[in-house]
A and B are shown apart, each in its own frame.
Chain A
Amino acid sequence: DAGVIQSPRHEVTEMGQEVTLRCKPISGHDYLFWYRQTMMRGLELLIYFNNNVPIDDSGMPEDRFSAKMPNASFSTLKIQPSEPRDSAVYFCASMVANSGNTIYFGEGSWLTVV
């Protein structure tokens, strides 16, 4: 079975540019999560969706960040404009209800903003 698929795997962009990260959750999973990993702050939950509806976005750092889930098989995390402090690994993860809260992670999108 395919796992959580993220793209791009690596991106280097200039400060001020728009960045769009993409995620395809595991088929049949009804929860989708975006996490960010940095050396300073570790793993942070940015936002999560249930049945395509954003449930908790309290972890989104500021208005420059936005996330959407237009359908059950696709989500995006957008940063506009990007800043060097946004450099991090962004993980998408998914889960199916009644699975004992087992969350499956993608391989991550490694973002560098210069």
Chain B
Amino acid sequence: AQSVTQLGSHVSVSEGALVLLRCNYSSSVPPYLFWYVQYPNQGLQLLLKYTSAATLVKGINGFEAEFKKSETSFHLTKPSAHMSDAAEYFCAASDSWGKLQFGAGTQVVVTP
């Protein structure tokens, strides 16, 4: 079964600064990997997903993530943070149909 580790439960970034959220997975087989975002009192929205087509994946709202098999990582980045990026971000992985394993989440705070 997959396990997903997100480093840092809280991240604070300045508006305009780089956003970097770390995610590592455990698997002997490259899984499907996802980043979801959850705004306060809302459901989870898919930001992007990796399905082996390309190691650098671009998502919505200017986010992208890079799959690195050697590091079993799938870190999420955005070059310039916006106030509207304040939310909780979840990394998730699955190696079978639909059984997503979520990380614990990283709360992003954006300061002016």
Contact = CB atoms under 8 A, between A and B. Distances in A.
Interface size class of A (residues with CB under 8 A): 20 to 34
A12 interface: no
Contact of B100 (A45, A108, A110): A45
Interface stretch (A14-22, A61-69, A74-82, A95-103): A95-103
B97 A101 contact: yes
A106 interface: yes
The 7 closest A-B pairs by CB, nearest first: A43-B102, A100-B51, A105-B44, A101-B32, A105-B43, A107-B43, A31-B98
B46 interface: yes
Interface residues of B, number: 21
Contacts of B105: 42-43
B94 interface: yes
Nearest to B33: A101
A45 to B, nearest CB: 6
B43 A42 contact: no
Contacts of A105: 36, 43-45
